[in-house]
Structure 1
Amino acid sequence: MDGDGPGPKEPRLREASWRFVGPGIVVAATGVGAGDLIATLIAGSRYGYTLLWAAVAGCLVKIALAEAVGRWHLATGRTLFDGWRSLGSWTTGYFAVYVAVWGFVYGAAAMSSSALPLHALFPQVMGLKGWAVLCGVGGLVFVWFNRYAVFEKVMTALVGVMFVVTVYLGVRVTPHLGEAFASLAPVLPRGSLFYTLGLVGGVGGTITLAAYGYWINAKGWTDATWMKVMRLDNRVAYGITGIFVIAMLFVGAELLHSSGIALAGGDKGLLSLSDVLADRYGTATAKLFLVGFFATAITSLIGAWHGVSLMFADFTVKARARRAGGSTAGGGEQEVPGGALEKSGPFRAYLLWLTFPPMTLLFLNEPFGLVIVYGVVGALFMPFLALTLVWLLNSSRTPARWRNGTLSNATLTGAGLLFVVLCVHQLRDLPW
């Protein structure tokens, strides 16, 4: 996904090394939540191995998107929000609405997902809503009092738990590898078009992809000399993501498809799988799966609490600077270091917004109007991200060396069109 050849007097790139890997693990773990696991499980239960290619394609799409986000941050020395703002004030308006509505609804969803496995493991301790509140407050306290270095280490440890559990389950169900490899050839089962497109576009695809650039800056990668390191970091992370989703598709294909077992929709489907695992392999395996389920859900919670709060803090700081007379188009204000953003008032204000107002949705049915607004702004985000990246990385805003090449343009444009199709489909299916 390289751009044009290097020009004269370009700084020497740092050599990629495994010891630097970190922000990619964070973004991949945050993006892959309980909903993604249930989607791949259901794909395996409905179609066997047939849609394995779609799960792999979804990881490749996310590699391209995260690489583009990271390339923008490193090549320009500016944040993604600066890039969006340079395209016009409409981007600022959309982001403001999106981040407010998304935070309110996602906060409740993340707390509920994290609470489900805890309640299943310890049903006598407290009810599901109590666990959800505890997860939300725990995430708030952890992110509030820790900086990126600690955050990354904890996320990496939780990814280790996810990896061990999912690979163990994938091996335990004894997959038919010949049939699985044959399914890497694209095949579209009858009536599965939008389901397949959703699998390609949905796994690991959220606003946290846009937070990747903020995490690499918080890591200390602040210029183009880190480009090789960022690319290795990104590919390793989404390679691990690919292993997650393939392992869960194996479980769906072998454990559910072959037995004709249907899972419940939503995150509760993972509790159904726990019951199936207990019947087939014993209580210990079922409990191990619930531990992996919790690791998957809580990484999404604390990752969103940290990453999207960084984005909101940058958005707020830049908006204040603009009102005070800063640059209006070029994004020329002095950048605020990631560590300063983590200590800022807007960062902590958004943490509070993610935690406490959404708790009302844990005790009340989601208001109908809020569901509509969330559906609209949420459906628009991934097309917005992909197509604005194409715009930014083909323009003079990006140094010539790091602009999109043919492969980058093809991949990002294809991803953008995919997300547009999914957006239209999702909007059409909203309960208007």
Structure 2
Amino acid sequence: MTTKKDDYKVGLNIPEDQGTGNGNGNGKEKQSFIKTIKSYGPGIVVVLTWMGAGDLVDASVAGSHYGYSLMWVLALALIIRFVIVNIMARFELCNTENMTLLEAFSRLHKLYPYFFAFAAIIMGHLVNSYMIKGSGEVLAWIFNFGSPFMWSVFVVLISLFILGRNIYKKLELVMKILLAIMTAAFIGLAIYSQPDASEIVRGTIGFGLPEDTGAYGTLLVAMSLVGAVAGSLGNFLYGYFIKERGWIGPEHKKIQRNDLLFGICMGVVINLAVWVVGAEILKPNNIEVTSLNDIAMALELHLGTIGSTIFYLGAFGVLYSSVIGHAIGFPKISISCIQIIKNGREDKYAVKSEKDPLFKWISLFILVTPLIWSLPNMPGFVSLVVFVNVLYVIALPAISIGLLIISNKKAYLNNSTNNWMENIILAATTMLAIWSSIKLVIGFF
């Protein structure tokens, strides 16, 4: 008798060594460091999908307005993200009933799949609104002709071409290339700015909220950082990417954890580099970040044209990698929820969600409709980034509460339930998200 995981593996035509044996990192032969790094992939894909403009803008805004005093928020958000996503992935690999995490949520309450399906479509649209807008602005600067809207249309057309091919292999290759570009770009700029290590340490362990300054208040920036980095619906994407890689059972738990840790570490490096640029270059020059051009102009003052060129290349790497990732990832979440709601649809398309006709239409919606935000006179790029990432925080309580219950059920996980530290972090995250949501609603009204 075959299980859903067996069916999924057959549907993907996963090579035997990716499903078991050497592919899991637990084989008898010890792999070299290079081979181990090459075996990773989903962590890089999902971290670059998460990062996008949220990290780029929020980190630079926080650094330019508040120096290193909010660095602790970034550190906290990254810890939360690793713990939450690792718990999610462990459930996918180790639960005894071969069900997905979304199926487990649906067992908690029947409204969960409706909520996730709707939220994935709306948030996919909103997140790609600033990813596509920013990508268009970057390409317009790099090529020095045409309007940002024209280049935004170009970005969407190229993405449609990529989505129509073998998705995952091409996506992983593109992500790794963009990772190298953005890492080199931002680290180089951070090193040039000669950061004060003692100030970074003080900001990381300071746990203080400085007085409001600049266009965005301290609390708003902090909430946007938590939303962008700790995330919400975007955290579900990792479960799909590890399955695409062929990691579908408990034997892959170790390589999955190391893969995610590697991806998170790369995210830490890039986030820190962007923050340093904001604190060491933008803040001393009293430059308030309201657009990508504000950051580029400051770097051009210090490095000449090469500075702004490096920045825009790194920015494009961050932005465009997320355009593709969200156009693939959020439809997967919606389709999975729709298949849970309609059982007949699940039986027909469960092996490969991309085969579901609705996947194409949802993906097109998330990829094409955000172009309206790239039209002239629409809200600015930075404003879109900050406020959309704040919205992520609102959905976080529903996710963290459900995950806290599911990941502690021994009936599902036997000996793979949470440890006490994971439970503390999940509980604290829930309280933080509820408090932030209340503050946001009070501030709005």
- Name the TM-score, length of structure 1 as normaliser: 0.85
Which of 136, 140, 143 aligns to 1:119? It is: 140
1:95 and 2:116 aligned? yes
Q: Describe the shift of the 1:54–1:106 C-alpha distance in structure 2 as closer, same or farther (beyond 3 A).
A: closer
Distance 1:55 1:271 in 2: 24
Deviation string, structure 1 residues 333-365 (Cα, Å, up to 9, x no partner)? 69933xx22333222121111123333443387
The one-letter code of the counterpart of 1:304 is H
Partner of 2:315: 293
- Deviation track 1:195-237 (CA, whole Å, cap 9, x = no partner) reads 4354344326242211110111111011111111111011111
Select 1:402's aligned residue among 374, 391, 416: 416
Distance in 2 between the 1:127 and 1:106 partners?
21
3-state SS of paired residue (2:86): helix
* Aligned counterparts, 1:388-427, within 5 A: 388-396=402-410, 398-427=412-441
Partner of 1:15: 25
Distance 1:313 1:106 in 2: 18
Corresponding position of 1:154: 174
Gaps of 5+ in 2: 1-19, 27-35, 212-217
Q: Is the 8 A contact 1:144 1:348 kept in 2?
A: no
Query: Structure 1: any 5+ residue segments left out of the alignment?
Result: 1-10, 327-332
Between the aligned partners of 2:157 and 2:434, the Cα distance in structure 1 is: 36
Match in the other structure for 1:176: 196
Cα separation, 2, equivalents of 1:19 and 1:361: 38
Q: How does 1:77-96 map to 2 (within 5 A)?
A: 77-96=98-117
Cα distance in 1 for residues equivalent to 2:207 and 2:88: 31
Please state how far the C-alpha of 1:243 moved relative to its aligned partner.
0.8
Task: Give the equivalent residue in structure 2 for 1:304.
Answer: 326
Answer whether contact 1:54 1:196 (CA < 8 A) is retained. Answer: yes
Aligned residues: 402
**CA–CA distance in structure 2, aligned partners of residues 93 and 341 of structure 1:** 17
Residue 76 of structure 2: aligned partner: 57
Work out whether residues 69 and 210 of structure 2, in 8 Å CA contact, stay in contact via their aligned partners in 1: no
CA contact (8 A) 2:116 2:334 kept: no
Q: Distance in 2 between matches of 1:200 and 1:97?
A: 22
> Shift of residue 393 of structure 1?
0.4
- Residue 276 of structure 1 and its aligned partner are, at CA, apart by 1.0
Name which of 64, 69, 72 aligns with 2:91. 72
1:202 maps to amino acid: A
CA contact (8 A) 1:169 1:251 kept: yes
Distance across 2 between alignment mates of 1:278 and 1:376: 30
Is the contact made by 1:98 and 1:378 (CA closer than 8 Å) also made in structure 2? no
Query: Aligned partners of 1:115 and 1:384: how far apart in 2?
Result: 34
Partners of 1:19 and 1:374 lie apart in 2 by 34
Give the distance between the partners of 1:206 and 1:120, measured in 2 at CA.
Answer: 32
- Structure 1 pair 211–227 and aligned structure 2 pair: CA distance change class (3 A): same
| Residue 442 of structure 2 is aligned to residue 428 of structure 1 | yes
Q: Which residue of 1 aligns with 2:55?
A: 36
Q: For 1:127-146, list aligned pairs within 5 A.
A: 127-146=147-166
Out of 351, 364, 370, the residue aligned to residue 358 of structure 1 is 370
Structure 2 residue corresponding to 1:235, chosen from 261, 265, 283: 261
**What secondary structure is seen at the aligned counterpart in 2 of 1:184?**
helix
Counterpart for residue 250 of structure 2: 224
Instruction: Show the counterpart of 2:359.
Output: 347
CA pair 103-199 structure 1, distance change in 2 beyond 3 A: closer
Aligned residue for 2:286, secondary structure, equals coil
Deviation at 1:376? 9.9
| Cα distance in 1 between the residues matched to 2:369 and 2:288 | 35
Q: Distance in 2 between matches of 1:186 and 1:200?
A: 17
Superposed CA RMSD in Å reads 2.8
In the alignment, what sits opposite 1:212? 238
- Give the Cα–Cα distance (whole angstroms) in 1 for the partners of residues 111 and 334 of structure 2: 16
Which has the larger share of helix? 2
* Residues 396 and 433, structure 2, Cα contact 8 Å, conserved in 1: yes
